[in-house]
Structure 1
Amino acid sequence: MDLLELRDISKTYGSLKALRDVNLTVRKGEWLAIMGPSGSGKTTMMNIIGCMDKPSTGDVILDGVNIAKESSKNLTTTRRDKIGLIFQQFHLVKYLSALENVMVAQYYHSMPDEKEALEALDRVGLADRARHLPSQLSGGEQQRVCIARALINYPMLILADEPTGNLDEANESMVLEIFKTLHREGSTLVVVTHDPEVAEDAQRTVVLEHGRVARIIDNEEAASAKKEGVL
């Protein structure tokens, strides 16, 4: 069952065509990676999928609704209720504790629930750091707070932009293990990355070039072929 479908999506900024006739589907429960060089359209695609921007032409069907035709107000509601966003730069409120940063997301969705927020932090291994400010946390810990914040409202789609871009190898592995657990539990993940090793953990990798889908790689088939010596 498809959760997300992009139909002939194009995005133009003045004379710049950031996306050109992109067609893509994401199945419910799938882990999809998006790769491509700088300027290939990765961020533009993420912003459109994440209801932070609208395409110039085409349709974006999320959970049966064409969000390309929705008003800005409705896009904000959809993003709040259906999408969990994880950013490379964290975007944590510096004067709030880890717990309070997670509870802020609850506040905009429904009602803050400290017990539920603590459970979300425990899920990413940070229950003992709940009262710490972002400045008292490592980069890896801050990213895990971001993941807890993204999960707190039980989104149907988790959208991550370079989630390991600012992390060392140990913290990257920790974040990827969380993603693997989420995937096993049935979450739908779309991860924008420049790192081939991060992309390999996904089921499929979409490679963008000059705003177009250059190719789609079935990572499971590619891994099997590599193991058998075909690649």
Structure 2
Amino acid sequence: MNILELRGITMDYGTVKALDNIHLTVKQGEWLAIMGPSGSGKTTLMNIIGCMDKPSNGAVVLDGVDLSTLPAKGLTAIRRDKIGLVFQQFHLVPYLTALENIMVAQYYHSMPDEAEALAALERVGLKERARHLPSQLSGGEQQRVCIARALINYPALILADEPTGNLDEANQNLVLGIFRELHREGHTIITVTHDPAVAERAERCIVLGHGRIADQRQNGCRTGEVACTCANG
């Protein structure tokens, strides 16, 4: 069963075509990595899938809903109810504790539940850091709070934009280990990354070049293949 379908997605910014007739399907429970050089359209594609932008042409179907038919308010509801977002820059509220940052996400979805929020932190190994502010957490810990926040409302799709971009190797491996467990549990994950070592963890990888899908690999990307594709794309 497909959880996501992109049908002829095009995105124009004046005379610049950021995306050019993208067709893509993602199966429920799949882990997909998106790679490509700067300017290839990765962020634009992520923003469209995440309901933050509307394409110039084409349709996005998420969990059976054609997003092109929805007004702005409807897209906000889809983003809130069906998508869990993990960012490179964390975007945690600085004056709220780790626990409170997760409960804010609950508030906008339904209602806060402290026990459930604590369980989400425990899942990412941070229950004992629940009362700490973001400034009291390491980069890896902040990213794990972001993952817990993304999961708290049981999204149909997890979108991760460069989730390890600001982390050292040890924290990168820890965060990727969490994603691996989520994938094993059946979660659908799309990861945008510039790092072939991260893309290798996914079961499938597509490579963008000049707004098109230039290449794709099943069972992740091998470093040499991706480097070659990106250089030529």
TM-score (norm 2): 0.94
Q: CA deviation at 1:70?
A: 1.2
Q: CA deviation at 1:221?
A: 9.5
Corresponding residue for residue 192 of structure 2: 192
Q: Partners of 2:9 and 2:47 in 1: how far apart?
A: 13
Inter-CA distance 176–96: structure 2 relative to 1 (3 Å threshold): same
1:153 aligns with 2:153: yes
Inter-CA distance 68–17: structure 2 relative to 1 (3 Å threshold): same
Q: Which amino acid aligns with 1:194?
A: H
Q: Which amino acid aligns with 1:184?
A: R
- Secondary structure of the residue that 2:92 maps to in structure 1? coil
> Percent identity between the aligned chains?
72
Q: Unaligned stretches of 5+ in structure 2?
A: 224-233
Q: Partners of 2:154 and 2:31 in 1: how far apart?
A: 16
Corresponding residue for residue 138 of structure 2: 138
> Which residues of 2 match residues 33-182 of structure 1 at below 5 A?
33-182=33-182
Q: Partners of 1:213 and 1:221 in 2: how far apart?
A: 14
Q: Partners of 1:20 and 1:55 in 2: how far apart?
A: 10
Q: CA deviation at 1:207?
A: 0.2
Q: Which amino acid aligns with 2:46?
A: M
Q: Partners of 1:8 and 1:88 in 2: how far apart?
A: 28
Q: Deviations over 1:44-102 (max 9, x none)?
A: 00000001111000011111111122111000000000000000000000000000000
Corresponding residue for residue 228 of structure 2: none
- Secondary structure of the residue that 2:197 maps to in structure 1? helix
- Secondary structure of the residue that 1:166 maps to in structure 2? coil
Q: Deviations over 1:165-205 (max 9, x none)?
A: 00000000000000000000000000000000100010110
Contact 2:139 2:166 in 1 (8 A): yes
Q: Partners of 1:131 and 1:65 in 2: how far apart?
A: 38
Q: Partners of 2:221 and 2:149 in 1: how far apart?
A: 33
Q: Partners of 1:220 and 1:41 in 2: how far apart?
A: 20
Contact 2:81 2:153 in 1 (8 A): yes
- Secondary structure of the residue that 1:148 maps to in structure 2? helix
- Secondary structure of the residue that 2:94 maps to in structure 1? coil
Q: CA deviation at 1:16?
A: 1.1
Corresponding residue for residue 4 of structure 1: 4
RMSD: 1.2
- Secondary structure of the residue that 1:120 maps to in structure 2? helix
Q: Partners of 2:128 and 2:15 in 1: how far apart?
A: 51
Q: Partners of 1:126 and 1:6 in 2: how far apart?
A: 36
Q: Partners of 1:221 and 1:202 in 2: how far apart?
A: 8
Q: Partners of 1:72 and 1:194 in 2: how far apart?
A: 30
**Runs (4+) off by over 4 Å:** 220-223
Corresponding residue for residue 30 of structure 1: 30
Q: Partners of 1:106 and 1:176 in 2: how far apart?
A: 24
Corresponding residue for residue 20 of structure 1: 20
Inter-CA distance 191–220: structure 2 relative to 1 (3 Å threshold): closer
State the number of aligned residues: 223
Q: CA deviation at 1:31?
A: 0.2
Q: Partners of 1:68 and 1:36 in 2: how far apart?
A: 26
Q: Which amino acid aligns with 1:99?
A: L
Q: CA deviation at 1:220?
A: 5.8
Inter-CA distance 101–221: structure 2 relative to 1 (3 Å threshold): closer
TM-score (norm 1): 0.95
Q: CA deviation at 1:15?
A: 1.3
Contact 2:205 2:220 in 1 (8 A): no
Q: Which amino acid aligns with 2:212?
A: R
Q: Partners of 1:221 and 1:131 in 2: how far apart?
A: 39
